[in-house]
Amino acid sequence: MKLTIFILSLPVVIFFSLFLVEDASDTFRLALFGLWILSGLICLAWSFYISRRSRLLGWLCASIFMIQLIMAMWPVHPRH
């Protein structure tokens, strides 16, 4: 159960840490973005495993992945 909470919070923490390191190098930000995507995939895989024990947690993990997928595909327009 503790691992599920960690897996659920990891994508959220990584996403918000992207905003905290705005002044970091592009390579670091790209690596952090890749880690964010990887944490979403781990959350999706975990949803299949945990759904045998708790359907609610399985759906919660899957929904976090879907939110991440939508956010990653959302068009980004720079401010002028």
For residue 79, pLDDT beyond 70:
no
CA distance 27 to 24: 8
What pTM does this model have? Answer: 0.78
Q: What is the pLDDT of residues 37-53, one digit of tens each?
A: 899 899 999 999 998 99
CA distance 25 to 22: 8
Q: Give the residue-averaged pLDDT of 10-31.
A: 84
pLDDT of residue 77: 65
Q: Residue 59's pLDDT band (boundaries 50, 70, 90)?
A: very high
Q: Give the residue-averaged pLDDT of 24-45.
A: 88
pLDDT of residue 69: 85
CA distance 71 to 80: 21
